[in-house]
Structure 1
Amino acid sequence: MKNLNIAVRSLFKKGRHNGMKIVSLSVGLSVALVLIAKIYFEQSYDTFYPDADRIYRLTESFVTADGSGDFPQVPGAVASGMKAEVPGIEEATRLTYIAGEGTTFKTPEKERYFADYILMADSNVFDVLQRPILLGNPREVLARPWYAMVSRSLAEKMGGIDAVNGIQITPDDMPGMKLTIGGVFEDIPENSHLRFDMLVSMNGMNEWSRTNWVGNDRYLSYVRLSPGVSPESLKPAIHEMTLRHIDQEEMQKAGVELDFFMKPMLEMHSGSSDVENMMMMLAVLAFALLFTAVMNYILIAISSIVNRTKEVAVHKSYGASEGNIYSMIMSETFVHMMISLLLAIFIIFLCQDVIEDLLGVSVANLLLSKGAWLLLMICAVVFLLTGYVPGFLFARIPVASAFRNFRESKRVWKLGLLFLQFIAAGLLVTLLMNVIRQHQFMIHDDPGYAYDRLAYCNIAGLDSTNRSKVSQELMRMPEVEMVSTAYALPLSGMSGNNISLPGSEEQLFNVADQYWVGNGYLELMEIPVIEGRSFTENVAVSYEIMVNRAFVEKIQMYANWPDGPIGKQIFITGHDQGENVNAMSGGYYTICGVYENYRIGSLARLDDRPSVLFYSSTPLSIQLVKFNTLTAEAVDKVNNRLLEVMPDRNETLSIYSVDVVNLYRDSRKFRDQVLVGGIITLIISLIGLIGYTNDEINRRRKELAIRKVNGAESFDIIRIFLKDIMQIAIPAVLIGCVGSYFISDYWQEQFQKKVSLHPMVFIIGALSVWVIVAICVVYRTWKVANSNPVESLKSE
């Protein structure tokens, strides 16, 4: 306690640089602890479920003539079939999306509410994915068609848990559907791979879909195994079940092998390559920041040895042992650590909105979870490191130092610590430059279609008459150049269907099926037709299909079409023509044209399958608007017209270019994380550099004065310090650049197209750090270089 009192009283003593130590440590801790908490949070996904280690997601494994793959959804009958026929499966349930992300619905009073996701679910869903039930019995509510359960947060927005019971709602995307709320469940935590605000009874889905074994693999299916049962032990029983229910002869004719297996739910999120990549990069950032902050604290503490030598020696003269000195320094470090932690917590909560935007998780969930114990352990390690090294050095100060000037500079320690800080600064600065280049490349890369003047809105809740009215009204506006409609946008991931040739049941390959587009779609998107022609428009039923260049190149491996693909028929699953013409439901379509390849998805999640388009004369659910000039005023006018045409809806235009940028929001967030980390690391390094330079100036003041008396110029004095620092800064930053190259290369592996890691980027990054270091050294030495040497000699 005595040492703690002394440590508190000495906080403001001159020459100890306690303010610099505390501020740099607190800033480094605040960012590093948040990043470490984020890493822990990503690893904690789905651990809140009881028996989470026994819950598995069913996955479909397929082999075709085109290759093999896995798909994390299965047909409707698989989960219930496993529960009935595979011993060792304790429970099984299914869910399926019926509304996309961000669905608005209204009550009979015309009040509107927003739900993140609406899914259909079996009545036993909470027996597998257990959540506290606040109202209603899920087995009764979800057994009734078109009854629903909502989350606590959604219920509270609608008036309260008890108030929502029995309310009928209508989703905007499904105007004919009336859902009755019959229960409330506790919110799904943020660290869940499966999020939903509303569950609707699965009994509303048609029976064929729920009992089908092949195709229509839209179901998210989960099973809970009995205690002690492993997935490997169930493989024979699952295979036998597959043989019983799936016609193997038909599958062989189609050239398809199909099987099902289980993936641990705990690996659904944390086991993905994207998350593993992100955690590795965040770990690098956190380590660099924490390491730099710790090294800087130790550097400043060691730099004060010269000023505190006599104090320590006097303590020893009065009988203090090395252990007592060590205890004194550890007490000081403890006080500094506590103040730094409090300041770090203040910074974190002051910047919690920025942190939530960068990391996508609330500060409360990051810091006030089980991961808090990990953060406390990290703080304990930091305390031991920052206290042990200075304590060890102070304890070794000889007693004789009380009676003579102590001039040992400990330069090896200080230069070594600066060297490590410069490595971290060089690494993060050049890493930031590569991340920025990759992000800019992705958002500006040509996807193969024009979107700079494009906007769209969802009109799924309107009937075909009103959809046509919307298109006609918009087309009359002088601000609008063209309009069209589509079933899906290239931004989105597409469903898959299989291609066969006439006369053969063998399925050759899978395509990205964009389904239907309306009049003038290709012209509006400026997608070139490179062979044949576009669709015959304004026909009630069209059996034409358009394919892309990649499709033609792919099908040439299986079909002999010497005169090209135009006019040829293909069979595609998922597009019935009123009769079952094949064991796998689908229909025959004639290729009328070939369009140039364009990107489906993003460079981070690129769908590189061949693609196809179909025509619909009936307006589709996505209204596309191409402006003559895209301005805020023009968008406002169109939004006002949409409100006039659709008074019961609050639809506004989404700007396509904004959504393109949002495709890469993970890249943007990582860029911002590296930016924050790089700036803070550089600042902490410069604080250490300034502290080191100040101490060197004080230590060598007499030497510098003598040099000036003997004719040294100001530049000669500055050059002494510059040479001293640059000798370690140059190799340290180069080492950081080498590390940055390998980290940047690893990070870029997730992208289909990437910028080259050009040497000039690393050269510019290294030069930037060196210039900043040089400026700091010149700034701190300019005054002494131009001072009167007589004053320095007087003080001696």
Structure 2
Amino acid sequence: MLKHYLDLSLRNIKKNTIYSAINILGFSIGIAVVLYITQYVAYELSYDSFINEAEYIYRVDHTQYTSEKEWQGSARNYLGLGPMLKEKLPDVADFCRISKNLDATRGVPLKYQDKIFYEQNVYYVDSTFLDFFSVQLVSGNSKTALMNGNSVVISTSIAKKLFGDRDPIGLVITELDNENSNRIVTGVFEDIPENSHLKFDILIPIFGDPNYKFFVQDPWYSPAWYTYVKMGSKIKYQKDINLVATSIARTYKPDFIKNQLRIVFTPVTSIYLQSDFKDELKINGSLNLVFFLILVAFLLLAISSINYSNLSIVFAMDRSKEVGLRKTFGASATQLRKQFLIDSFVTNLLSLGIAIVLYVVFSPSFNDIIGKNINASLNYIAFTGAVIGVLIVSTLLSGAYPAILLSSFKPVEVLKGKLVMNNRSFSLRKALVVFQFCMALILIIWSLFVSGQLEFMRTANIGFNPDNQLIIHNPTAYSRVDNEHRYDDYLVFKKEVLNSAAIESISTSSSVPGTEIGFTYVNSIKKQANGVYDPTPYKVMYVGYDYLSQLELQLLAGRNFSEDFPSDVKYGSIILNAEAIKVLGYSSPEDALNKYIYFQQLDEWEKVQIIGVVKNYRHVSLKSPVSPTLFYLSQDKGQQVFYSLKFAKNSPQHVISSVKDIWKKVYPGKPFNYFFLDDHYDIQYAHEKRLQLLTTFFSNVVIFICCLGLINLALFEGKKRSKEIGIRKVLGASRRSILFLLMADFLKLVILANIIAWPIAYLIINKWLQSYPERIHINGILFLVASLASIALVMLSVFLSTYKTTNINPVKAIKSE
């Protein structure tokens, strides 16, 4: 019986070759994209699933409030928090702390023999780290590998890079920034999976961190450490434990700031998709994007299925006599439904086969769009399950209604030649077409606004000039080894590069635009010596003499730092941005000029004079508001993290080559680690770029599948109306009038789809734009562009599929009927 059903299905496909081919093509593309989405969503949801007992592990974050308004939430916490929680909270079974240099552009300088390199993924960790996060050692003992302060545990990729095929256990790696720099390899672990919010290649015991000695003297001084706890059982009431931990932590903070502190427990499995704290260990994903992709997957399946259902409904007139005859000879409604569901299954199966081929061929391109190689961790069992699930869902979506409709025909009426397609069927077909184009229009309009917002952020006036700026990492920043010669070496390097015709100026800074300013001070500013603390969070930048002018920051009042003023050198002078002046309560930049404020660094208050005010600029992207910022002059301090070189409009490769030659003379054996400021600044918009690519890609796929469906319907419509067209031509109707007649019904449906889609798209876009402090305005131009484009595409599709119909010989058309 099954073979009989299959033979009938294949015969129907062969009978309607053109319609079936178009239908299968649309289905194949839709299913292929759904498979991509399914795999990507599964990958995103699998983050940190490799950790044993992950449901019991929480990262302990903190937020700080002023007047009940949160101003900063950070994934980092205090060094003393972990031991305190284990001591005070019986439910805490264990804790683990991590320290990491958050300067993603630099890393830690390391050396093995003559190989010197910067490694960004270096963690300083408690000895419990390996077991805590289920890190599998291929060499060494996980219980003792991190017990010695001079130990180091490395990944297999680092071991291969440094030692080749040699056994690394017992070999020594030198950490160039640290006095106690020689570290013995005590363990090698399998590379951490990419689907983890953790990213490390080198592990060093926590007390090997150069900053540990300072922080251990005051474990509650500053939140610079990541703290994880393992609970004895899963937390049921997270708000309650947050309140308890907050109450305990506040006892260790001074009275004037303790009420600002709040502790937050974040499940480790939800960090990647749901946490948006500052100082994340890795750039996190977006749960909203996952939901969006799931919605798109269902829409694609629905739209592809609608095409099949629509065609099946209009084919009902052709198959009505078949149904009538089969019912007359005893076929039951159930048997007929099975037949039509099998028809749908065969079409979907053929489409699925082609879709899998498309999936394999175009996987690299899709991986480029999403910025991840999701196939590297492909779970074939899960993928097979997804394929089967897609096949079942698409079969039911596309075949259920046609099966019910066609099996309900009454044989007597059919065999008498009565019209079997009632108004309800036609109304449903039109509703499905409208639904298709509503979804397509919403995606098109959103993709246009995403592109508009991205272009707005990339071309907005950011208040400085990032062009022709070569940034080099100071090889001795943070170093305990080269501290004495740091500034002298810089002056030699500065003199040499300024002798090069390619370099116009050079300066230093503790941060560069595109990277979060690392120094944040709260309750550290006073306008009078006996005044109240200012609870505003201020960012502090340490810069060289020419840094502000080199970036072309605009002075609103006052002057720049200068060697002609001794007070600048002795940290008696400060420059503020306009936002800081506003927060401090000055009426204008001129009003603030030459006034004094009191600034606390460590435990000392410094009286500093405001010598200049610069116009606000966007140190980080437009996704964040401008922060009140203070500029200090930096000379021989460790804050000279970056060298900024302004070069003439030469070939970048020529500039790099000439500067590199000078570098080798001044800093022999030090890594030449560099980047261009404009490229670095653009990295901040990687999420928006990916969203733009995805929405554009999906909207194009959806509109293409919709147009394929319309082509099929228009072809069939023209075929069924051939007699009518023939009569009209005999009576003198022109080809243009006949084309307009055939296109008019579809045009009405697309216009209706526009009317419905516009308000829905507006609500979605308005909600999305609210997440940006500065954003484009919603105007009707982009809506109109999307609408006109959709109407043009629909009319073109219908025109191409019906033009041939208008050329029919009216005599043959009438005669064939």
Q: Does residue 1:134 correspond to 2:144, yes or no? A: no
Out of 480-489 and 699-708, give the one that drifted further.
480-489
Contact 2:108–2:122 (CA<8 Å) still a contact in 1? no
Query: 1:577 maps to which residue?
Result: none
2:495 to 472, 480, 490: 472
What is residue 596 of structure 1 aligned with on the other side? 615
Q: Which residues of 2 match residues 144-293 of structure 1 at below 5 A?
A: 144-158=148-162, 163-170=167-174, 177-205=181-209, 206-227=212-233, 231=238, 234=241, 238=245, 241-242=248-249, 245-246=252-253, 250-252=254-256, 257-272=260-275, 275-293=286-304
Counterpart of 1:356? 367
**1:121 aligned partner:** 125
Task: Tell me whether 1:483 sits opposite 2:506 in the alignment.
Answer: yes
- Which residue of 546, 555, 562 corresponds with 1:520? 546
Is residue 521 of structure 2 the alignment partner of residue 497 of structure 1? yes
SS of the equivalent of 1:50 reads: coil
Secondary structure at 2:170 match in 1: coil
Instruction: Summarize the Cα distance change of 1:244–1:426 in structure 2 as closer, same or farther, 3 Å threshold.
Output: closer
Confirm or deny: 8 A CA contact 1:349 1:363 kept in the other structure: no
Q: Deviations over 1:262-294 (max 9, x none)?
A: 232233233246723323433443333232222
Query: Which of 633, 641, 646 matches 1:621?
Result: 641
Distance verdict in 2 for CA 1:635–1:328, change over 3 Å? farther
C-alpha deviation, 1:207, in angstroms: 2.8
Query: SS at 1:304's partner residue?
Result: helix
Say which is worse superposed, 301-310 or 489-498, in terms of deviation.
Answer: 301-310
Q: Which runs of 5+ in 1 are unaligned?
A: 575-579
* CA shift digits 1:216-263 (9 cap, x unpaired): 2110001111126655565676456436544xxx433x6864343423
Q: In structure 2, how many angstroms separate the alpha carbons of the residues matched to 1:61 and 1:747?
A: 25
Q: Is the 8 A contact 1:37 1:375 kept in 2?
A: no
Contact 2:137-2:190 within 8 A present in 1 as well: yes
Q: What SS does structure 2 have at the residue aligned with 1:179?
A: strand
Distance of 1:401 and 1:171 partners within structure 2:
89
1:403 Cα deviation from its structure 2 partner = 5.4
1:321-470 counterparts in 2 under 5 A?
Answer: 321-364=332-375, 368=379, 372=383, 373=385, 376-399=388-411, 408=420, 411-461=426-476, 464=486, 465-470=488-493
1:712 is displaced (CA, Å) by 0.5
Give the 3 Å change call, closer, same or farther, for CA 16–413 of structure 1 in structure 2. farther
- Partner SS state of residue 666, structure 1: helix
Q: Which one of 579, 583, 592 corresponds to residue 550 of structure 1?
A: 579
84, 87, 90: which one pairs with 1:84?
A: 87
Kindly provide the CA deviation profile for residues 455-488 of structure 1, in whole angstroms up to 9, marking residues without a partner as x: 3222335852444444333322222222222111
Is the contact made by 2:57 and 2:268 (CA closer than 8 Å) also made in structure 1?
yes
- CA drift at 1:737: 2.5
Partners of 2:588 and 2:774 in 1: how far apart? 33
Find the counterpart in structure 2 of residue 13 from structure 1: 15
Post-superposition shift, 1:689? 0.5
What's the counterpart of residue 536 of structure 1?
562
RMSD (Å), alpha carbons: 3.2
Deviation at 1:706, TM superposition (A): 0.2
Whether the 8 Å CA contact 1:65–1:509 is kept in 2: the answer is: no
Matched, 1:608 2:626: yes
Q: Which secondary structure does the structure 2 equivalent of 1:675 belong to?
A: helix
The answer (yes or no) to whether the contact 2:453–2:776 under 8 Å persists in 1 is yes
Deviations 1:700-735 (A, max 9, x none): 100110011001111110111121111111011232
Q: Aligned runs of 1:582-731 on 2, under 5 Å? A: 587-604=606-623, 606-618=624-636, 620-629=640-649, 631-632=651-652, 634-638=654-658, 641=661, 644-645=664-665, 648=669, 651=672, 653-731=674-752
Distance of aligned partners of 1:435 and 1:233 in 2 relative to their CA distance in 1, 3 Å threshold: closer
Instruction: Tell me the residue number matched to 2:282.
Output: none
- Which secondary structure state, in structure 1, belongs to the residue aligned with residue 274 of structure 2? coil
Counterparts in 2 of 1:8 and 1:608: CA distance versus 1, 3 Å: same
Structure 2 stretches lacking a partner, 5+ long? 277-284
Where 1:784 maps in the other structure, the secondary structure is helix
Q: Which amino acid aligns with 1:395?
A: S
* 1:560-599 alignment, distance < 5 Å: 564-574=592-602, 580-581=603-604, 587-599=606-618
Relative to 1, partners in 2 of residues 1:260 and 1:396: Cα closer, same or farther, differing over 3 Å? Answer: closer
- Partner of 1:134, secondary structure, is strand
CA distance in 2, matches of 1:270, 1:278: 9
C-alpha offsets along residues 655-684 of structure 1, whole Å, 9 cap, x if unaligned? 222223221111111111011101111110
Amino acid at match of 2:403: G
Do the aligned partners of residues 766 and 688 (structure 1) sit closer, same or farther apart at CA in structure 2, a change above 3 Å counting? same
Tell me the distance in 2 between the aligned counterparts of 1:268 and 1:684.
Answer: 37
Deviates more, 1:478-487 or 1:402-411: 402-411
State, as a whole percentage, how many aligned pairs show the same letter. 22
- Provide the C-alpha distance between the structure 2 equivalents of 1:504 and 1:36, rounded to a whole number of angstroms: 62
TM-score relative to the length of structure 2: 0.88
Deviates more, 1:133-142 or 1:523-532: 133-142
| Cα distance in 2 for residues equivalent to 1:352 and 1:161 | 33
- Inter-partner Cα distance in structure 2 for 1:236 and 1:756: 41
Q: How many residues align?
A: 781
Aligned match of 1:736: 757
Judge conservation of contact 2:554–2:614 (CA < 8 Å) in 1.
yes
Higher alpha-carbon deviation: 421-430 or 636-645: 636-645
Compared with structure 1, are the counterparts of its residues 470 and 338 closer, same or farther at alpha carbon in structure 2 (3 Å cutoff)?
Answer: farther
Secondary structure class of the residue paired with 1:663: helix
Distance change (3 Å), C-alpha of 1:441 and 1:454: same
Distance 1:479 1:293 in 2: 58
Q: Is the 8 A contact 1:256 1:507 kept in 2?
A: no
TM-score for the superposition, normalised by structure 1: 0.90
Letter in 1 for 2:9: A
Alignment-mate amino acid for residue 599 of structure 1: R
The secondary structure found in structure 2 opposite 1:756 is: coil
Moved more, 325-334 or 434-443: 325-334
Report the residue type matching 2:202 in the other structure. M
**Structure 1 contact 285–674 (Cα < 8 Å) conserved:** no
